[in-house]
Amino acid sequence: PPRSTLFPYTTLFRSVTLANAAQQQPDAATEPQEPVFDEAAFRCICDVLPPEQLAEDLRILVARAEALLDRLKDREVAGNFPTLAEAAHKLAGGAGTFGFLLLAAHARRFEAAVDAAAANQDVLAEQLCQTITEALAVVRCQLAYRAVDAA
């Protein structure tokens, strides 16, 4: 079944956060105040998902984050950010669902800047790269912790 059927609050969360992102100017001066990781949100999703599904969804999140990070760092893609807006959008949704609020915020800001053809896309791309790196470290720790806890 579609994810929205299993998790109606995820669809609501994404709708609210996308509406908030649309109201914000894609400006590097307005730094999001979200934490890198909201453990309470993560625990909430852990309580809902079966362990196998949780691990798989986190692996997908890691794969999306790594792919976007690689593409943002690729010199041939640099400056051609419209091709990355959709990837940033998908990453923002997954990251927000699992409590990676700063990553979700930076991905939304990058997406909004690209959509608006804002002049600060390079700055936001660099911020997104840094945030992806930080979030990946936390995701990997959570995966390792879950694997040890399950054993």
SS3 100: coil
Mean pLDDT of 78-100: 92
Q: What is the pLDDT of residue 89?
A: 96
- pLDDT on residue 126: 95
Round to whole Å and give the CA distance between 76 and 57.
30
Indicate the pLDDT class of residue 132, thresholds 50, 70 and 90. Answer: very high
Lowest mean pLDDT among 108-112, 126-130, 143-147: 143-147
Angle (CA) 117 121 123, round 5° = 160
The per-residue pLDDT for range 19-76, each reduced to its tens digit, is 444 444 444 445 658 899 999 999 999 999 999 999 899 999 999 999 999 999 997 7
Does the global pTM surpass 0.85?
no
Q: Which of 114, 97, 102 is nearest to 44 (CA)?
A: 97
